[in-house]
Amino acid sequence: MKNVTTYVGIDAHKKDLFVAMLIGNEKTPVTWQVANEPQAVRRLVRKLEREAPGYHGG
């Protein structure tokens, strides 16, 4: 299996989190916005775990 690095950047504000994810050799990050609330952050973590290639839990 080939190692793929996933980079995640989060710009945190009082109301929202602005997220950018860059996978492997892609040129353009995927970006989105989520509420800065505990439940939304938990969903964000699960989404990142699903979408990061090679992640096996931990």
Percentage of the chain modeled with pLDDT above 70: 88
Cβ-based neighbours of 44, under 8 Å, separated by 6 or more:
17, 19, 34
pLDDT band at 41 (very low <50, low <70, confident <90, very high): very high
Residue 34's DSSP bridge partners are: 17
The pTM of this model reads 0.80
pLDDT in tens, 22-37: 988 899 999 999 999 9
Tokens of 47: 């989404």
Cβ-based neighbours of 52, under 8 Å, separated by 6 or more:
6, 23
pLDDT in tens, 44-55: 999 988 887 766
Tell me if residue 24 falls in helix, strand or coil: coil
Residue with tokens 């990050």: 29
Residue scoring higher pLDDT (12 or 5): 12
CB 9, CB 23: distance < 8 Å = no
